[in-house]
Structures are given as structure tokens and as C-alpha cells.
Amino acid sequence: MGLVNVVAGLALAAVAMFGITSCQEHYREQGRVAVRAEWIEADKARELRETAATLAREKSERAKEQRQTQEAEANALAATQREAALRDRLDTVVRSHDGLQRELARANAASGDRRAAGTCPAADAEADAAATARGVLGACADRYRAMAADAAGLASQVVGLQDHVLVLQPAARALLTPAPEALP
């Protein structure tokens, strides 16, 4: 009986050892499952944060692009208005020049008529001096008209370049806009 008790005790000890090992393995597996679940949740949370950050960056970029597009449209409208004002000024100069040329032609014709009529003894001297003065005035008016046309073209180019710079470098607006204390 002693041997049976020893064998039974050993068998019981082996079964207990197997049970304890199985129980330990069960708890280890539960721990591995819990850790895997935490990793999966952490990965999902990280992916969610990355997706949210990507969406925020894209939204910010779209807003920036929209703002730049709106600024470009506003600058284009302002440039168009400035160019229209320049064209109006140039048209005014052209009309003034044309009127002056007509007046000079009329004065030359009147002077020629007086000279031909011989109504004034100083008509020849007056006609020559007046014709010379009118010729100089006409030449100056022609140069003024050409200069006004060139200035309008250059102003249009400068405005276009400034608008282009403002679209590419919004910080340049501070350089192109006079300070409030500098305004009258």
C-alpha cells in the first residue's frame, strides 16, 4: 500500500502540476490577447490621429488656396480698374491733344488768312513768331501724348508685377502699402 500511496501521490502531484501549468498558460494567453487588443486600439488611435492631422492640413491648404485665389481675383479686379483709369486718363490726354492740334491748325489758318489779306503791317513777323510758337507747342503736345502713353503702359506693367508679387508673397503687401502715419 505504501507504494500505491507514493504512486498515487506522485500522480496527484503530476496532475496538480499539469493543472497549475495549464492555468498559468491560460492566464498568459489571456494577457497576450489583452496586450494585442491594446496594441490594436493604440494603432487605431494613432491612425485616427494621423488621419485627422492629414485632413486638417488638407483643409488648411484648401483654405489657403481659396484665400490666394480670392486675393488674386481681387487684385485682378483692382488691376483692371486701375488700367481702366489709366486708359481714361490717356483718352483725356489724347482728346486734349487733338483739341490743341485743332486749335493750332485754326490759329495757323487764321494767321495765314490775316497775312494774305495784308490787314496788319506786323502780320508777317507775328505770323512767323506765332507759327514757330504753335509748332513748338504742337511738338511738345505730341511728346507729352507719347510720354503719357508710355507712362500708362509702364504703370500697367508695374501694377501687374506688384499684383503678381502680392499673390506669390502676401507678406510683400506691407512693403507696397503705405504706413497709416505716412498717409495725409
10-residue mean pLDDT series, the chain (184 residues): 81 85 88 92 95 95 89 80 83 83 79 70 68 77 82 80 73 64 54
Cα separation, 36 vs 18, whole angstroms? 26
Q: Do 87 and 143 fall into the same domain?
A: yes
Domain range for 11 is 1-49
The candidate with the shortest Cα–Cα distance to 93, out of 12, 165, 150, is: 150
Is residue 9 in some structural domain? Answer: yes
Q: Do 124 and 160 fall into the same domain?
A: yes
Is residue 130 in some structural domain? Answer: yes
Among residues 49, 65, 87, the one where a domain terminates is: 49
| Total number of domains constituting the chain | 2
Per-residue pLDDT at 52: 96
Is residue 2 in some structural domain? Answer: yes
Cell match 492555468: residue?
A: 23
- 142 near 77, Cβ under 8 Å? no
**Structure-block grid coordinates of residue 179:** 504706413
Q: Do 114 and 156 fall into the same domain?
A: yes
**Structure-block grid coordinates of residue 131:** 507759327
How far are the Cα atoms of 51, 58, 98, 162 from residue 54, in angstroms, in the given order?
5, 6, 64, 34
Per-residue pLDDT at 86: 79
Q: Do 84 and 162 fall into the same domain?
A: yes
Cα separation, 158 vs 164, whole angstroms? 10
Is residue 60 in some structural domain? Answer: no
The DSSP annotation for 6-75 comes to HHHHHHHHHHHHHHHHHHHHHHHHHHHHHHHHHHHHHHHHHHHHHHHHHHHHHHHHHHHHHHHHHHHHHH
Q: Do 82 and 33 fall into the same domain?
A: no
User: Using only C-alpha atoms, what is the Rg of the chain?
Assistant: 48
